Structure 1
Amino acid sequence: MIELKNIGVQFSGRDILKDVSVMFNAGEIVGLVAPNGTGKSTLMNVIMNYINPISGKVILNDELEYTNKKNEVKMHQLVSMMPDQSDLYNQISGKEHLKIYSSMWNSNPKLIDSTIQELGMESYINKNTGTYSLGMRQRLCFAMQVVSDTQVMLMDEVMNGLDPTHVELISQILVKKKSEGKTVIVASHLLENLEKYADRIFFMKNGELILVNAISPGFEEREITTVRISEMTDSIKGEISKEFPETKVRSLPNGATLLDVRGYDSGELGNIVEFLKENQITEFSFGKVTLNDLYSMYYQEV
């Protein structure tokens, strides 16, 4: 468990993080979502103590803080951030990288071979990383963090450069880490993928963390909350607002329209369907608001 308490960070007089207080729990996957330059990486760097906040503190397991070098060493045995591809040494093999990370964190050496096998890296792991493709290098960076086996795992764009097969594979491994009691914090632009496995998802804007479920109550539930319409004229939107004044109508930048039907019974839903049919609107579907929808609505003014 790791807690951020009243964290503030400023660059050039601008608030990057503003009085951020949040707790990330053991056995939880947390997603961080925001446009580039809005503070995701800064937040992770504060957790690692790579950036010193102007206010607030990071607390690990209710007791450890970055108050001195000795505590920092203790915390870095329990908290790790996935390395960047620029951190790789082109002249040594992928397996040597894994051995270095296992040694640095004093983890079980058996994790090296099991991780290689789990990620399907056997065919190239003994080759120098300078010969690796973008996807191979990204898998190696992820494998390095897996073998460190820390309690808290931070990942910034872990899926970068990966094909759909490996995106799914790494997603499954993240869920496995959660089942082992790890705290996994993932910043990602692959929203559809993130929505599948994250327990909580936060947007970042104006230096603040905003829980997605607070923006769209019931987002984490699996009930029908939305009618999605591919195309709808402004005049029809106006008619819907008159006919169903309790129904919130939202327009997305991609041209789609969402009707908020959270809590509606079958009769109320049927009335909306009849209205759409009467107005020759046939391309619509029932479901829930997606993370992509919320992102478009929340950041369309950014």
Structure 2
Amino acid sequence: MLELRGLTKRYGDVTAVDDLSCVFRPGRVTGFLGPNGAGKTTTLLLALGLQRPDAGTVRVGGRRYTALDAPMREVGALLDAQAVHPNRSGRDHLRALAAGNRLPVARVGEVLERVGLSAVAGRRAGTFSLGMKQRLGIAAALLGDPAVLLLDEPINGLDPGGIAWVRALLRELAAEGRTVVLSSHLMSEMEQTADHLIVIGRGRLIADTSLTAFLDRAAPAGLLVRAEDPGFPAALSAAGGSVREVPEGGWLVFGLPAYEIGRLALTRRIVLTELSPRRGSLEEVFMSATASSTDFTGHASAPVSAVSGVPGGDPVRSARGSR
């Protein structure tokens, strides 16, 4: 378990993490989300003792990271997949980590096998693709067989097969009873992987809830309608519905129950090809929840969110100095 209590970190006049309190619990994948500049990476650095907080505490299994007798046996982390000597082989990179942390060398072969790098472990890490380096970084995080895993953007550079593999691996690790913390901006993958979400903005806690509860609480109950009559949206609007065309075809309708839409189609002798509930995606809900915590956003041709009506474009990288 990873526990943050009143965690605060300032850089000059910028508060990167602001009185943050939350608990990352074992047995589930917790998505750690926030816009650029929210303080996510700073929080992970504080958890690993790589930065000192100005106030508050971080506890791993009840103890500070710097007080752990064998840190890699307690916490595994992937913060930067590029942090490997380019002239050292993947196997030697892990062997050096094992030796420096008094870990059995047999673990090197075990983690290489688990991440699928056994066949290329003798190659220089500098020749690895970004996806291969991500796998090597995950292997390093697993080297000490830790109870807590902190992974920052672990699927960057992976192909679709690799992304599916990481998704399955994280679920497997959580099922083993580990605390798995996943920080990523890829909302579609987070929606398929995480059980729980901790969302921050400008260093402050916005949400600490299950993925299902986050989606259900923030997303309105819309209905996806597809029909063989392109004039049907006008009829829906005249009946009091709020209608928005969706890119994949059809219309998202708010304010009318399904039976009213069906009755309207029947009276107009219109064939409905789909009438189904559509919950807002995690991306839409996230954009709505963090709209007031985003430092900079682009506005040119920004699509309108189905959840809140705020611009739906990706936030521009923050000038606040942390993610």
Q: State the TM-score, normalized to the length of structure 2.
A: 0.73
Q: Hey, what does 2:191 align to over in structure 1?
A: 195
**Shift of residue 93, structure 1, vs aligned partner:** 0.6
Q: Hey, what does 2:5 align to over in structure 1?
A: 5
Paired AA for residue 279 in structure 2 = K
User: For the residues of structure 2 that align with 1:52 and 1:253, how far apart are their CA atoms?
Assistant: 47
**Shift of residue 75, structure 1, vs aligned partner:** 5.0
- List aligned pairs for 1:1-302, cutoff 5 A: 1-62=1-62, 64-65=63-64, 71=67, 73=69, 75=71, 77-107=73-103, 109-211=105-207, 213=209, 217=213, 219=215, 225-228=221-224, 242=240, 268-274=257-263, 285-300=276-291, 302=294
Q: Hey, what does 1:246 align to over in structure 2?
A: none
Q: Which runs of 5+ in 2 are unaligned?
A: 295-323
User: Quick check: 1:227–1:284 contact (8 Å CA) kept in 2?
Assistant: yes
Deviations 1:132-183 (A, max 9, x none): 1222122111111122321111111000111010011111111111122111
Partner secondary structure for residue 89 of structure 1: coil
User: For the residues of structure 1 that align with 2:275 and 2:6, how far apart are their CA atoms?
Assistant: 44
**Shift of residue 99, structure 1, vs aligned partner:** 1.9
User: For the residues of structure 2 that align with 1:113 and 1:226, how far apart are their CA atoms?
Assistant: 51
Two-structure CA RMSD over aligned residues (Å): 3.8
Q: Hey, what does 2:312 align to over in structure 1?
A: none
Q: Assess, with a 3 A threshold, how the Cα gap between structure 1 residues 24 and 258 changes in structure 2: closer, same or farther.
A: farther
User: For the residues of structure 2 that align with 1:41 and 1:258, how far apart are their CA atoms?
Assistant: 36
Partner secondary structure for residue 88 of structure 2: coil
**Shift of residue 218, structure 1, vs aligned partner:** 6.2
User: Quick check: 1:252–1:297 contact (8 Å CA) kept in 2?
Assistant: no
**Shift of residue 5, structure 1, vs aligned partner:** 0.5
Q: Assess, with a 3 A threshold, how the Cα gap between structure 1 residues 226 and 83 changes in structure 2: closer, same or farther.
A: same
Partner secondary structure for residue 44 of structure 2: helix
User: For the residues of structure 2 that align with 1:77 and 1:34, how far apart are their CA atoms?
Assistant: 28
**Shift of residue 48, structure 1, vs aligned partner:** 0.9
- The total of aligned residue pairs comes to 285
**Shift of residue 212, structure 1, vs aligned partner:** 6.6
**Shift of residue 250, structure 1, vs aligned partner:** 9.9
User: For the residues of structure 2 that align with 1:96 and 1:16, how far apart are their CA atoms?
Assistant: 36
Q: Which runs of 5+ in 1 are unaligned?
A: 244-248
User: For the residues of structure 2 that align with 1:236 and 1:40, how far apart are their CA atoms?
Assistant: 47
Q: Assess, with a 3 A threshold, how the Cα gap between structure 1 residues 172 and 104 changes in structure 2: closer, same or farther.
A: farther
Q: Assess, with a 3 A threshold, how the Cα gap between structure 1 residues 91 and 257 changes in structure 2: closer, same or farther.
A: same
Q: Hey, what does 2:310 align to over in structure 1?
A: none
Greater RCO between the two (CA within 8 Å, min separation 6)?
2
**Shift of residue 259, structure 1, vs aligned partner:** 5.7
What percent of counterpart residues are identical? 23
